[in-house]
């Protein structure tokens, strides 16, 4: 068990920030979460409004993986401080979502996940991913008897018939082709990792089923290119409604994607309305 204290680390906010799909509240125990990533399951506990996060893993596993996964060497407070006080909307958004971080997730999983995300909504995306994992991931058991499945490897997803009945709709052929490229070695993810942002974007855009938005999401969430700024309908709506159609990323050079997350989380979870409803 490892305890982490950090004022910019909130599991619930991260789970609701739209960047990950396999981090879910544990239905049996309050304030606990279960994460599946890198072929591992991690239980997490965080009391509401606490800056302490408890990770149920060994110190070694934390040092080798989860510290990196949660990007714990980066100071997110420094990003938030770059928001000009006269930007009321973003100031509020960073207050509401101050515990958001950009995770270091697996590129392959993110490529598939964000292909599924196109023209789709989050519950459906999660559902499709779970179906894929249950059908083609590796089955595992926790010490207390829970069953869980790892994310499938590329070679498991390269036959189109295996992608039926996963709720993927027309996206099945995109995933089939991606899986085939990765499995056969035609596409080497290690090569993508060392590319510049522009090279990586071009490479992603050349793939069947990946357009501008998905490419930017894969860059930000799968390759940790935090200068990437995906514009989905939510972001476009906010730019339209709050910024008169033009949002300058000038104050956020090099970490535009972090700012995007604050906007997305704030907009998507409609938190001010919820606050009012609670009163």
Partner DNA sequence: GACCAGGTGTCCG
Partner DNA sequence: CGGACACCTGGT
Kindly tell me which of 30 and 205 has the beta carbon lying closer to DNA. 205
Give backbone dihedrals phi and psi of 217, rounded to 5 degrees, phi first: -65, -45
Query: How far does Cα 112 stand from its chain's mean position?
Result: 12
Residue 40 gets which letter from DSSP? E
Q: Please pick, among 213, 231, 236, 276, the residue that the annotation labels catalytic.
A: 213
Taking residues 169 to 188 in sequence order and writing x for each that binds DNA by CB under 7 A, - otherwise, the string is: xx------------------
Instruction: Tell the smallest beta-carbon distance from residue 185 to DNA (Å).
Output: 21
Q: Tokens 């008897």 — which residue?
A: 145
Which token pair is 30? Answer: 């309050």
CB atoms near residue 228 (< 10 Å): 22
68 scored as a contact of DNA (CB under 7 A): no
124 scored as a contact of DNA (CB under 7 A): yes
208 scored as a contact of DNA (CB under 7 A): yes
Binding residue count for DNA, defined by CB under 7 A: 24
240 scored as a contact of DNA (CB under 7 A): no
| Site stretch for DNA (CB under 7 A), options 38-46, 144-152, 230-238, 250-258 | 230-238
Nearest Cα residue to 178 out of 203, 146, 195 = 203
Nearest Cα residue to 9 out of 79, 105, 76, 68 = 76
User: Is 213 marked active-site?
Assistant: yes
Q: Cβ distance 26 to 33 under 8 Å?
A: yes
Which token pair is 196? Answer: 């510049």
Kindly tell me which of 77 and 211 has the beta carbon lying closer to DNA. 211
Taking residues 148 to 167 in sequence order and writing x for each that binds DNA by CB under 7 A, - otherwise, the string is: -------------------x
238 scored as a contact of DNA (CB under 7 A): no
Which token pair is 64? Answer: 């080798």
Instruction: Tell the smallest beta-carbon distance from residue 52 to DNA (Å).
Output: 34
List, in sequence order, every residue forming a beta bridge with 41; answer none if it has no partner: 36
Instruction: Tell the smallest beta-carbon distance from residue 233 to DNA (Å).
Output: 4
| Rounded-to-integer distance, Cα 5 and Cα 54, Å | 9
So which residues are the catalytic ones? Answer: 213
- Which residues would be at the binding site for DNA (CB under 7 A)? 117-121, 123-124, 127, 167-170, 207-215, 232-234
């Amino acid at each position: 068990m490892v305890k982490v204290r950090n004022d910019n680390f909130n599991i619930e906010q991260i789970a609701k920030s739209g960047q990950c799909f396999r981090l879910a509240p544990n239905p049996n125990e309050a304030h606990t979460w279960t994460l599946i990533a890198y072929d591992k399951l991690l239980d997490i506990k965080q009391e509401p409004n606490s800056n302490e996060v408890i990770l149920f893993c060994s110190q070694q596993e934390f040092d080798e993986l989860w510290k990196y996964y949660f990007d714990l060497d980066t100071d997110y407070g420094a990003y938030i401080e770059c928001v000009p006080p006269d930007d009321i909307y973003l100031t509020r958004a960073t207050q509401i979502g101050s515990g958001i971080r950009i995770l270091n997730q697996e590129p392959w999983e993110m490529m598939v996940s964000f292909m599924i995300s196109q023209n789709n909504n989050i519950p459906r995306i999660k559902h499709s991913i779970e179906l894929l994992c249950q059908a083609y991931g590796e089955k595992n058991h926790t010490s207390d008897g829970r069953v869980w499945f790892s994310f499938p490897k590329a070679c498991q997803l390269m036959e189109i018939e295996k992608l039926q009945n996963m709720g993927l709709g027309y996206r099945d052929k995109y995933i089939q082709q991606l899986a085939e490229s990765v499995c056969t070695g035609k596409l080497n993810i290690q090569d993508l990792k060392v590319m510049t942002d522009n090279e990586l974007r071009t490479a992603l855009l050349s793939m069947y089923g990946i357009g501008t938005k998905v490419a930017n999401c894969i860059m930000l969430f799968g390759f940790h290119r935090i200068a990437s700024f995906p514009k989905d309908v939510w972001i476009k709506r906010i730019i339209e409604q709050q910024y008169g159609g033009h949002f300058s990323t000038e104050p956020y050079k090099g970490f535009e994607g972090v700012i995007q997350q604050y906007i997305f989380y704030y907009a998507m979870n409609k938190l001010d309305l919820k606050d009012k409803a609670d009163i």
